Chains A and B, each alone.
Chain A
Amino acid sequence: MQNAASSQRSPTTGLLLGLVITLAAVLAYASYITVQLAGLRKLQSEMVDRNRKDSLQLLRIQNDLNSVALAMRDMLDTTEPYPLTAWTAQFDRIHQDLDSGLKLEENLAGASRTPDQRRYLTQSVAQFWDAVNRMFGLAQGGKDAEAREQIRLSLQARQQALSTAVSRLLVENNEGEQQAAVRIAHIYDGVQRQLYLFLAATLIAIVLTSLYLIRSNRQIFARLAELSEQRSELAQKLISTQESTLRHISRELHDEFGQVLTAIGSMLGRAGKHIPEGALLREDLKEVQEIAQSTLNNIRTLSQALHPVLLEEAGLESTLDWYIATVGRQTGLTLHYEKTGQPFPVETNAGVHVYRVLQEALNNVSRHSGARDAWIRLKYASDSLELEVEDHGTGFAAEELPRGIGLVAMRERAELIGGSLAISPRPQGGTKVRLQIPRGKVDANGA
């Protein structure tokens, strides 16, 4: 019993457990990724982006210093007809841009620059412009030759020193970017590794859950099939028992009570002949004899209804002829009976079930359809036997298939003889019951 109980256990708990584990894994991984991304963003914004912006400013400064170098070269070129003071505006523009670039660079460099580096750059630039101003002072005083000497001796060397310092800072920035790139690559590798792990774990969880689900489904379906088989077996046994009982009662009624009543009738007939004509007793005996005959007829009818012996004696076709006529009389329904095809003898056991299906179908027409007409079609096809019962009564909606013991029994009977039963509403109203049995299952000749 314990094994049976465990095999019938619902998979919901297992599935919920799997879901919880999967969600927990997703949450854990999402948290991990968020932390890594935050680290990456911080690294990029604080190091790489800042470094890049700083490098751009350093390049701007370097460009200005190059412009200064070119301007000084031009100033030393005596082919230019203008005095050195002509370069004042050009130097002013470069000075302005250089100051702007240095200011921005200082803000961007932040902690990556040592105080000594800052001091050196600031002081060197200040000294350079101081020397430039002295040079232009000489030029304004008409001492172009001395000013040019200043350029050669001092300014060009200072410019080169500044340019070297800026180049060094650019190299440092480049190294910093390379280090940052390594760290970023490390983070990416970690995330990639974790991603693979997460994917593997998720895949395993999905596979396990799927296997569990498949196993559970198989057990459920097996159990359902078993139950269905048991139910079908039970129903068939019930039907068989019912038929057997009815046949027994029918035979008892027919054989025992029939013979007794027949004997009583004969005896009453003979006794009446000994009583003079016109005597009251003779009249009474005759009346009793008629009652006995009437009872005998009723018993025979009941016997036929319970189990048509006719089936065994005359076959399905004759039984249906008799039954349809009887039902028509008893219920007042107008029954339109149509036979088609080449008749073949129907095996008695199968014939009982066909008869019962017809019996139930007509019973339903009489009790539920409200129709006064019904159409019965018996078709002997080359490969099957088909029985249709159709009425034009109230019917039922397609999605509301009537449920009841009678209908269940009809299906069971159909299945019992290897056939199929379809109950469908007619579009114009009414119901059609269609029983179809392969000929091999019903043909008494084994066709």
Chain B
Amino acid sequence: MNRREFLFTALGTGLDTATTPPWILGNPSSPLGFRFTDVTNAAGIQFQHNSGAYGGKLLPETLGSGCAFLDYDSDGWQDILLVNGMDWPAHKRQRSTLRLYRNNRNGTFKDVTRSAGLDVEMYGMGVAIGDYNNDGFPDIFVSCVGQSRLFRNTGKGTFIDVTRASGLYGRQGLSTSALWFDYDRDGLLDLFVCNYVRWSPEHDVFCSLDGSHKSYCTPEAYRGDTCWLFRNRGDGTFEDVTPTSGIFDSSSKSLGVAMFDYDQDGWPDLLVANDTQPNKLYRNLRNGKFKDVAVEAGLAFSTEGKARAGMGVDVGDFDNSGRPGVAITNFDNEMIGLYRANATGVFDDVSIPSGVGAPSRNTLGFGCLFLDVDLDGALDLAVANGHIDETVRNIRGNVGYAQPPQLFLNLGNGKFRDVAGEAGGGFKKSRVGRGLAYGDFDRDGDLDILMTTNNGPASLFRNDHLAGNHSIRFHLRGTKSNRDAIGATVRIFANGQSQSRVVRGGSSYLSQSELPLTFGLGKRDKIDRVVIEWPSGRTEEYKDLGAGKTYKLLETKGIQEQPGF
């Protein structure tokens, strides 16, 4: 028992709660510097994912779905989007659509799906948010089973389905994660879409664990499918450059994607997590083409040379070295892959020495996020877990269908510790977790977490900070670069230490986190300087910025300080 626990125990037994000082009530016995509270119901989020499962055991039922934090009305408050599946055509029981929740700026949300024009049935999987037409309002791409959809934000609180008009119509697939990024650095966001396997309800494969009853098939039973890359022409339409860009690969079975400047040349590369196939690291050759260098980079296989079942992926400078590391969630018995670049630029899997490997051996991870949850200046790692097979407990006694999420706290010495059980708010509760995103929806300067489950509810966890750590946030807006500044790298320097973050779409699994960047500063109340490397190639620097604020950084136009977050 530490000193604080002892104090709380003594106070709890010796004093009436009515006489306990308020700071004690607001400072629970958790030794962490923060605490989660499940505010899903209080915030008015009533969401139930519909996988369409009716007993036919169709592959996509196990996969969905994703979620996103986005500021769709550009009011500075993060809204929430939750992707949904639907009943299979021959088994209609209910109507289900994705849900868009507008932030009421008081901790609650309002379901605006219908008024926003998003009350559309589709078998949605993932979501990518990006202002592809640079009009200041984020647009929504929903990856689907079959035809994916692109919704353009009118800026008046509504969306228009522009799938056909944009030229994205006609590409059918079992699409999964997607992201917006400006691969050719022309100031326009391009779209990358992962596809899992070649699947359609008509050509579903029969698989069985007991020889008689149908079960969900593993990906080996299906042919792979290529990912897609769509180049933004700038006129509201997209060009499918998949076959000419070097992205085309009919063997891939992709589930997760993260933007990643692997070679630090300022041109965005892509890391794709593949299920039972080698992961792909598409290096941007700066001429509109990509080359897969995953094997050379050490990211294609596990350390044993095995192609693991990659699910979610995220990239972040978790060791504050200035070079981003990588996390890839995998199947149970495969562990999370946590990669760190060595001196030669090759990535080493440090999951076991870091303490992330062993606790993830019996979990099946999907969504994963690097975020500084305790604002101590080191990126932590959150993971959503959950199996795909309801009967897994019968086969592997130590692996459950519903699994608790994990929150690996970065201890700052190359080690992580799972503190999910100490975070409170029922965060540790077992779920069939899938999507995972972060955003500061209550604008208190720390990062809240949104998690989806398969065929179950979504959960919103409010992060309440207790330790008095400070943070500083940056909201970037490109002028020469894409307006969302996706691909911009921000480095802050304080007391001789530095941190870096990249404005990025995609990552995690089927999900997208907010675009503003949050830096934890510990007890420091200011930073010495911030350096922004815009996607256009321009570099800007600002000095002596106080903590506890959000700064709007406008490319070529300066910085605007916003009181509070």
Q: Quote the shortest CB–CB distance from A67 to chain B (angstroms).
A: 6
Determine if A67 and B243 form an interchain contact, defined as CB atoms under 8 angstroms apart. Answer: no
**Interface size on B (CB < 8 Å)?**
16
* Given known A-B contacts A81-B170, A81-B171, A83-B243, A89 and B223 have beta carbons under 8 A apart: no
The 8 A CB mask of B228-258 against A (1 = contact, 0 = none) is: 0000000000000011101111110000000
Q: Are the CB atoms of A89 and B246 closer together than 8 Å?
A: yes
Residues of B within 8 A of A70 (CB): 223, 250-251
Which residues of chain A have C-beta atoms less than 8 A from B251's C-beta? Answer: 67, 70-71, 90
Select B250's contact among A71, A83, A85, A97, beta carbons within 8 Å: A71
Q: Which B residues are CB-close (under 8 A) to A152?
A: none
Give the number of residues in A that approach B within 8 Å (Cβ atoms).
Answer: 15
From A80, A81, A89, A97, give the contact of B249 (CB < 8 A): A89
Chain A residues within an 8 Å CB radius of B226? 82, 86
| A74 interface residue per 8 A CB criterion | yes
Contact with B along A88-108 (1 / 0, CB 8 A): 011001000100000000000
- Given known pairs A87-B248, A90-B250, the reply for A82 and B242 (CB within 8 Å) is yes
Known: A82-B248, A86-B248. A74 touches B243 (CB 8 A): no
Give the chain A neighbours of B161 by CB distance below 8 A.
Answer: none
Binary per-residue interface labels of chain B (4-16) against chain A in the complex, 1 for a CB within 8 Å, 0 otherwise:
0000000000000
A93 touches B223 (CB 8 A): no
In Å, the complex CA distance between A162 and B250 comes to 22
> Given that A74-B223, A82-B242 are known contacts, is A87 also in contact with B250, CB under 8 Å in the complex?
yes
Question: Are A80 and B171 in contact, with the CB atoms below 8 A?
Answer: no
- What is the chain B residue whose CB lies nearest that of A75? B250
Complex CA distance for A80 and B240, rounded to whole angstroms: 13
| B292 interface hit (Cβ, 8 Å) | yes
A93 to B226, CA, bound (A): 15
Q: How far is the CA of A97 from the CA of B293 in the complex (A)?
A: 12
Q: Which A residues touch B291, using CB under 8 A?
A: 89
Chain A residue with the shortest CB-CB distance to B250: A74
Query: Which of B81-97 touch A at CB < 8 Å?
Result: none
* Most B-side CB within 10 Å, residue of A71, A86, A87: A86
* Nearest CB of A to B296, in Å: 11
Distance in angstroms from B252 CB to nearest chain A CB is 9
B248/A89 in contact, CB under 8 A: yes
Closest to A86 in B: B243
CB pair A82 B249 closer than 8 Å:
no
Which residues 160-205 of B sit at the A interface, judged by CB distance below 8 A?
170-171
Residues of A contacting B171 in the complex (Cβ-Cβ under 8 angstroms): 81
Cα separation A67 to B250 with both chains bound (whole Å): 10
Residues A86 and B292 in contact, CB atoms below 8 Å apart: no
CB neighbours (8 Å) of B247 from chain A are: 89
Closest CB of chain A to B90's CB: distance in Å?
22
Within 8 A of A (CB), among B210-232: 223, 226
In the assembled complex, the Cα of A172 lies from the Cα of B244 at a distance in Å of 42
For B252, give the chain A residue with the smallest CB separation.
A90
Looking at the assembled complex, report how far the CB atom of B272 sits from the nearest CB atom of chain A, in whole angstroms: 14
CB distance from A52 to the nearest CB of B (A): 14
Inter-chain contacts of A93 with B (CB < 8 A): 249, 292
- Contact, CB under 8 Å: B248 / A90: yes
> In whole angstroms, how far apart are the Cα atoms of A70 and B197 in the complex?
14
Residues of B within 8 A of A90 (CB): 248-251
Q: Indicate the member of A70, A82, A89 with the most B CB atoms within 10 Å.
A: A89
Give the contacts of B289-304 with A (CB-CB under 8 A): 291-292, 295
Cβ contacts under 8 Å, A67 to chain B: 251
- Closest beta carbon of chain A to B515's beta carbon, Å: 31
Task: Tell me if B223 and A86 are in contact (CB < 8 A).
Answer: no
Q: Give the contacts of A49-64 with B (CB-CB under 8 A).
A: none
- Interchain CA distance A71-B244 in the complex, whole Å: 17
Give a binary string over B127-151; 1 marks a CB under 8 Å from any A CB, 0 the rest.
0000000000000000000000000
Instruction: Establish whether residues A82 and B292, one from each chain, have CB atoms under 8 Å apart when the complex forms.
Output: no
Residue of A nearest to B292 (CB): A93
A151: min CB distance to chain B, Å = 14
Bound complex: CA A74 to CA B198 (Å): 11
Shortest CB-to-CB span from A81 to chain B, Å, is 7
Q: In the complex, what distance in Å separates the CA atom of A89 from the CA atom of B246? A: 5
Q: How far is the CB of B107 from chain A (nearest CB, A)?
A: 47
Q: Could you tell me the distance between the alpha carbons of A86 and B243 in the complex, rounded to whole angstroms? A: 4
How many Å lie between the Cα of A82 and that of B241 in the bound state? 10
- Give CA–CA (A44, B249) in the complex, Å: 40
| Cβ–Cβ < 8 Å partners of B248 in chain A | 82, 86-87, 89-90
Roughly how many angstroms separate A85 CA and B244 CA in the complex, as a whole number? 8
* Minimum C-beta distance from B243 to chain A (A): 3
Instruction: Please report the C-alpha to C-alpha distance between residue A81 and residue B248 in the assembled complex, in whole angstroms.
Output: 12
Shortest B169–chain A CB gap in Å is: 12
A82 to B195, CA, bound (A): 15
CA distance A398 to B517 in the complex (A): 88
- Closest-by-CB residue of A relative to B290 is A89
Across-interface contacts of B246 in A (CB, < 8 A)? 89
How far is B243's CA from A85's CA once the two chains are assembled, in angstroms?
7
Q: How far is the CB of B201 from chain A (nearest CB, A)?
A: 15
Candidate in A82, A85, A87, A97 with the most chain B CB atoms within 10 angstroms: A82
In angstroms, Cα B250 to Cα A128, docked, is: 20
User: Does A82 lie within 8 Å of B223, measured CB to CB?
Assistant: no
Produce 1/0 per residue, B384-422, CB < 8 A to A: 000000000000000000000000000000000000000
With a CB–CB cut-off of 8 A, which chain B residues contact A85?
243-244
B272-313: CB near A (< 8 Å → 1, else 0) gives 000000000000000000011001000000000000000000
| Bound CA span A411–B272, Å | 100
When distances are taken between beta carbons in the complex, the residues of chain A under 8 Å from B243 are 82-83, 85-86
Min Cβ gap B312→A in Å is 24
Would you give the shortest CB distance from B3 to chain A, in whole angstroms? Answer: 57
- How far, in Å, is A87 (CB) from chain B's closest CB? 7
B295 neighbours in A (Cβ, 8 Å) = 97
The contact string, 1 if C-beta is below 8 Å from chain A, for chain B 319-363, is 000000000000000000000000000000000000000000000
Q: In the bound complex, what is the Cα–Cα distance between A67 and B251 (angstroms)? A: 8
Q: How far is the CB of B226 from chain A (nearest CB, A)?
A: 8
Q: Give CA–CA (A410, B226) in the complex, Å.
A: 112
Give the Cβ gap from A170 to chain B, nearest Cβ, in Å. Answer: 18
A89 to B282, CA, bound (A): 12
A223-271 interface (Cβ within 8 A of B): none
CA distance A82 to B173 in the complex (A): 14
A83–B248 CA distance with the chains assembled, in angstroms: 11
Q: Nearest Cβ distance between residue B148 and chain A, in whole angstroms? A: 14
In the complex, A85→B291 CA distance in Å? 16
Which positions 153-209 of chain A face chain B at CB distance < 8 Å? Answer: none
In angstroms, Cα B251 to Cα A89, docked, is 12
**Which residues of A86-139 are within 8 A (CB) of B?**
86-87, 89-90, 93, 97
CA distance A67 to B249 in the complex (A): 11
A83 CA to B292 CA, complexed, in Å = 20
Residues of B within 8 A of A83 (CB): 243
Cα A71 to Cα B249 with chains together (Å): 9
A76 CB to closest chain B CB (Å) equals 12
In the bound complex, residues from chain B placing their C-beta under 8 Å from that of A74 are 223, 250
Q: Least Cβ distance of A75 to chain B in Å?
A: 8
Q: Give Cα A97–Cα B170 distance, bound, in whole angstroms.
A: 34
Chain A contacts of B244 at CB under 8 A?
Answer: 85-86
CB neighbours (8 Å) of B170 from chain A are: 81
Q: A70-B223, A81-B170, A82-B243 are in contact. List 6 more A-B contacts (CB 8 A).
A: A71-B251, A80-B250, A81-B171, A82-B226, A82-B248, A93-B249
Give me the interface of B with A, judged by CB distance under 8 Å.
Answer: 170-171, 223, 226, 242-244, 246-251, 291-292, 295
* 30 CB < 8 A contacts A-B: A67-B251, A70-B250, A70-B251, A71-B251, A74-B223, A80-B250, A81-B170, A81-B171, A82-B242, A82-B243, A82-B248, A83-B243, A85-B243, A85-B244, A86-B226, A86-B242, A86-B244, A87-B248, A87-B250, A89-B246, A89-B247, A89-B248, A89-B291, A89-B292, A90-B248, A90-B249, A90-B251, A93-B249, A93-B292, A97-B295
Nearest 3 CB-CB pairings of A with B? A86-B243, A89-B246, A74-B250
